[in-house]
Chains A and B, each alone.
Chain A
Amino acid sequence: DNRSQLSSLPLQILLYVNGVYYIFYFLATLAMIIYKSQVFSYPDDLLAPDLTVLFLMAILEVPRSYLGFKGNLTEAEAPLGLSLGLTVGSVVLCVYLLLWQTYVLWADVLLNAVLLAAYGLESGLKVTAIAAFVS
């Protein structure tokens, strides 16, 4: 079978690394939110939105990552397109955690910036892969 491989290797690597990085990011952000809730005072229930956003992002990450892997490996553009859509949602939540959190620590800025960069790169590679699959 001489059909050239359309699956993008860089995208695969990035998806894998992103998955691992996300686990670290989730645990670190959760720990920092717990630290902030003990050290600083939160106005009436501002802690709940921050925690909700974090857990929502975690829940989104699972299908996003799975669809990305599946789409890239099976060279199907539908799962990859769906993954791209979910990535947009994750980016929005990431921007919230970067800018609109109650207290933003410097470590928060660092982690979120790296995640945003990873998402951006991933989105670019996904678009390229979809273009390759469709054509």
Chain B
Amino acid sequence: MSAPRVNSFFLGNSSGVNFSIILSPRDAETGKLQPANCSGSKRAGDWNLDVTPGVSTSKVSVSLTRTLELCLPNATECCPSPLRVVETLQVLACRGSVVLAQLLIQAEIFANSSFTGNVSENATIIPNQAFKPLGSCPCDLTAGACDVRCCCDLECTADLQQLFSGSCFTGVFGGDVNPPYDQLCTSQSMEYTPEWFPFLCVQSSLDNTPFLGYFYHGSTSTPKVPSFKIPLQTSPGKPFTGYREGDPIITEEDEYFTVPQQSLAGQCTGNAPVAYLHSFDVKCLTNLESYKEGLPHDVRINSGTADFIQQNVVYRAITDRGKFITESENLLAAEVLCQNVTFAEHYKFIWKDKNIEQVNVTVFLGSLCDGEILTQRFTVEFLSLNSTNGEELFEHPGYQVGKPVRAANLNASDPLGSLNIWQPAGRGLCASATYRPVLFGVDSYSGCILEVDINEDCSFLRGNVTEKLNALIQATHIGKRDNSSYSDLNDWVEIIRLDPFSSNVSTGGLKGICPDIPANLNIRIIFSKVGAVQGIPLQQILAVQISYSTVLWQFQCGLGCKNTLSLLPITASVQFIEVPAQPPPPVTRYQKLYEEFDCNRNEVCWPQLLYPLTRFYTGEPYSQSLAKGLFLAFLVLLAAITSNPWFSKLWNR
């Protein structure tokens, strides 16, 4: 009912039928409806009954006769104050004194207390928030009308306030803008009062509280916009003297030569420059929507002697599409959008001393369709001019960061072993995940998702997970150095395996929960620098430990619990721990005793006390500390002067 009028229908023949309306037919004491009395009329109180007879149905409407508009200054027929109408009506259809039908209407009409007047143009003066909080009643949002649930609003009349007095807003929004704070003497709220509290509690009134505004009138300065320009090695006029190791390779237009690489965050970035003599091999995931072409292959590269060389590009087509494409779930029909994209690029830079002699590029093209995930592969190799068959001139015996860790199966006939971690693709399921070797010095954490049925047996699940994790470690020994040979047993360290504790704890028949699943594999590799070969430090692996961490797997219900499969993530983490080759020299007694002078290990140390003579302490601005120190020095000087007997003679004169 949206207006003070309601319509209904009386079905049946309405000849000889008397319609009447009764107001509040309830018994005041028991609250029950009084038995229907056919002696009513078509008007009751403020309500009026209209009947429009028809052939087989009659329209019955009940309407409120008085107006509900609020009194304006010159009106007469109006409501003097906002009304609230709550009444019960009963409409009866009688033939004679027999009741044919009755209709019960419960009418609740509340006054619309929203603001309908003019908006005043006077601006309210905002008090200085340092002395008075802005708005003593923050919930008083409308001027000239009562805000519901706002007990501090002065525009609410008493009976309106009675309606919502039980559920007022609390806290600062409800008007308590000056709550007593902890340091007040009268506040009892603090659980812990320091011992000095009786003396140093605040006695003054709540007019000055720490909650009042305290604004910083500092000066503003416009920041200088940094100019993100590529810093060039050459200034204009100076000839380009060649590349050193790590320098970015520059193209003809003085821009970086970019090949997509993996950033520190793990994603692939397209605009990553290539560093001289740093080879890499990256795999980047992309799909048709986010595919972007790299640098065009006709860009010429600065060779180092201000001479530009052209890239020798060879285009080939992909033969084995499966190695690059992971099918996505939604396999559409024949009409899919496909595009010719780059699947892999292999760059070979032939270098000599500080210059690049030749650039050979092999580009593999293929077609990528909508809905597929493509693993692009980019490799950059720097080959010396002397040995163009791909081998390095000098093989460093120790491990270098990024080289795969040598693993061997010394107890088996075929000594070749491998130590891998997960390389997931597609949805990340273990069924479709591949392996990639553990790289030295690269702490990694990867995993895949196993789908577990709700009815799966727990010991079967444990066995399955253990088997999948054990498949990562196809070795019994790890090589100490990169050039460990299979014939020498001293070149290898045995892997220390801490097998998962096979618990026979049963869940007591509970399905969907399995404790102690060894789902996390931890590989800890301890290495150290044991010397140097040709200036490059020799890094050697000392020990390898493999352990398992257990998790509690619980079936996760999806929406409405309709799924029967839940996900269990299985992870493998590799951690490289460096230990010093020799134990550190023992701490002398002098060092132990005088540890308090060490500013690095203590919060307060002796040099900090001599601030501002020594600038160790950085807790306060130097100028503030200097001012305080000078003031103290002045006081000391004053005391010294006044205690001098010469001064007292001067004073008494």
Contacts and interface: CB of A to CB of B under 8 A. Distances in A.
B202 A104 contact: yes
Interface stretch (B63-71, B208-216, B297-305, B383-391): B208-216
A63 B12 CA distance: 111
Nearest to B196: A107
Contact of A108 (B131, B183, B203, B213): B203
Given A43-B131, A43-B208, A101-B204, A106 B198 contact: yes
A69 to B, nearest CB: 11
Nearest to B181: A40
B200 interface: yes
Contact of B202 (A42, A44, A105, A110): A105
Nearest to A99: B204
B130 interface: yes
A48 interface: no
Contact of A107 (B183, B199, B208, B214): B199
Contacts of B201: 105-106
A108 B201 CA distance: 10
Interface in B125-180: 128, 130-131
A41 B200 contact: no
Contacts of B60: none
B185 interface: yes
Nearest to A32: B200
Given A43-B131, A44-B130, A105 B212 contact: no
Contacts of A41: 210, 212, 214
Contact of A40 (B128, B203, B210): B210
A101 B203 CA distance: 11
Nearest to B208: A102
Most buried by A among B185, B208, B214: B208
A104 B183 contact: no
Contacts of A110: 199
Interface in A67-105: 101-105
Contacts of B198: 106
B652 to A, nearest CB: 10
Nearest to A107: B199
Size bracket of the A interface = 10 to 19
Contacts of B200: 32, 35, 105-107
A42 B215 CA distance: 10
A39 interface: yes
A109 interface: yes
A39 B204 CA distance: 15
A43 B213 contact: yes
B420 to A, nearest CB: 59
Interface string A22-65: 00000000001001000111111010000000000000000000
B195 to A, nearest CB: 13
Nearest to A39: B183
A39 B208 CA distance: 13
Size bracket of the B interface = 10 to 19
Interface in B26-43: none
Contacts of B204: 101-104
Interface in B182-210: 183, 185, 198-204, 208, 210
Nearest to B198: A106
Contacts, number: 48
Interface in B205-258: 208, 210, 212-215
Contacts of B199: 105-107, 110
Given A32-B200, A35-B200, A101-B204, A106 B185 contact: yes
Most buried by B among A35, A43, A102: A43
A113 B210 CA distance: 25
A87 B202 CA distance: 28
A87 to B, nearest CB: 22
A90 to B, nearest CB: 21
Contacts of B212: 41, 43
A35 B200 CA distance: 10
Nearest to A109: B203
A104 B203 contact: yes
A108 B199 CA distance: 8
B130 A43 contact: yes
Nearest to A42: B214
A9 to B, nearest CB: 22
Interface string B491-520: 000000000000000000000000000000
Interface string B589-622: 0000000000000000000000000000000000
Contact of A103 (B128, B208, B215): B208
A43 B214 contact: yes
Contacts of A103: 202, 204, 208
Contacts of B130: 43-44
B31 to A, nearest CB: 59
Contacts of A107: 199-200
Most buried by A among B198, B199, B203: B203
A101 B183 CA distance: 16
A21 B335 CA distance: 99
A133 B214 CA distance: 55
Nearest to B628: A34
Nearest to A45: B130
Contacts of A32: 200
Contact of A106 (B203, B210, B213): B203
Contacts of A104: 202-204
Nearest to A108: B203
29 contacts: A35-B200, A40-B202, A40-B210, A41-B212, A41-B214, A42-B214, A43-B128, A43-B130, A43-B208, A43-B212, A43-B213, A44-B128, A44-B130, A44-B215, A46-B208, A101-B204, A102-B204, A102-B208, A104-B202, A104-B204, A105-B199, A105-B201, A105-B203, A106-B185, A106-B199, A106-B203, A107-B200, A109-B203, A110-B199
Interface of A: 32, 35, 39-44, 46, 101-110
Given A104-B204, A105-B203, 16 more contacts: A35-B200, A40-B202, A41-B210, A43-B128, A43-B131, A43-B208, A44-B128, A44-B214, A44-B215, A101-B204, A104-B202, A106-B185, A106-B200, A106-B202, A106-B203, A108-B203
In order of increasing CB-CB distance, the 4 nearest A-B pairs are: A43-B130, A104-B204, A41-B214, A107-B199
